[in-house]
Amino acid sequence: PVYAGLHGWRTFHARTMRAVSTQLRGGMSDEQEIYRDAYLRATVERGGLLIRTVRTTLAFPDVAALEASHDALLRVVRLHVGPRSRLLQDLRPAPGRNEPEFEAALTRVRSRLLPLFERRATLVQTSVGKLQLSRLQKEDKLERLVSQDEAELMRYLGFAD
């Protein structure tokens, strides 16, 4: 993961805060990568209010890899989430998995990740993906917009450009 090579939490936090501060003054790019592994990438954007997670095209070989990747992601996300944070999950590149053991593991992941955010949105590639995520939203009992349109999701999250 990205954070592993840095010299401890204080250095990581100071670099992140400088990046956000610079961005708010109109400096560098708004996107600050906070996590990356073979399966997931996460960035902080919009002055720290938006956390974007992007699933890569690499399939999880087993449930243990899925859980380890998401556990590491969650540890980093918790360092950046605040009371007004919003989550945009981009699942478009992800290979589909609907085996019961993977669905159960993803339910556990969602139950730990999604409640951290004031608003949640999920970007999908297909209508089938939208239907599946809409079904899962009902099971999660948490409001979330699922769409194939990133601009629509950004408006929902409160970031109209």
Confidence of residue 9 (pLDDT cuts 50, 70, 90): very low
Give the torsion sign (CA, 44, 46, 49, 50).
Answer: negative
Q: Convert the pLDDT of each residue in 124-143 to its tens digit.
A: 998 888 888 877 777 778 88
- Tell me what pLDDT residue 29 has: 52
Q: What tens digit of pLDDT does each residue of 84-137 get?
A: 999 999 999 998 878 899 989 999 999 999 999 999 999 999 888 888 887 777
Output the pLDDT for position 97: 79
Strand 119-123 to 145-147 pairing: parallel
What is the side-by-side strand order in the sheet with 40-45?
32-36, 40-45, 50-55, 86-90, 119-123, 145-147
